[in-house]
């Protein structure tokens, strides 16, 4: 997949937004929010590397571009 290309999907997910590196736990922390994964795309990070991201419509109505590493599919019963 080249930068800017995307695949359309609609999957319920939980994702970590407003992320920061927590030095005490040595892992990312932030707010866990639920929403619908609308598309998968790619973007360039600060170091110039292309990374896959999910375009998520959060339940609060906001749109977020979230790296795939911080998205989990919600479990269905």
CATH number of 7-73: 2.30.30
Q: How far apart are CA 17 and CA 48, in angstroms?
A: 21
Q: What is the pTM of this model?
A: 0.78
Q: How do the pLDDT tens digits run along the chain, 77 residues long?
A: 555 666 666 799 999 999 999 999 999 999 999 999 999 899 888 888 999 999 999 999 999 999 999 999 998 76
For CA atoms 67, 69, 72, 73, give the dihedral sign: positive
């Amino acid at each position: 997949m080249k930068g800017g290309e995307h695949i359309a999907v609609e999957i319920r997910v939980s994702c970590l937004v407003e992320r920061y590196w927590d030095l005490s736990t040595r892992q990312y922390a932030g707010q866990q929010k639920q929403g619908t994964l609308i598309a998968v795309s790619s973007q360039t990070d600060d170091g110039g590397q292309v990374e896959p991201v999910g375009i998520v419509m959060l339940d609060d109505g906001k749109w977020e571009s979230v790296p795939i590493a911080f998205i989990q599919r919600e479990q269905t019963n």
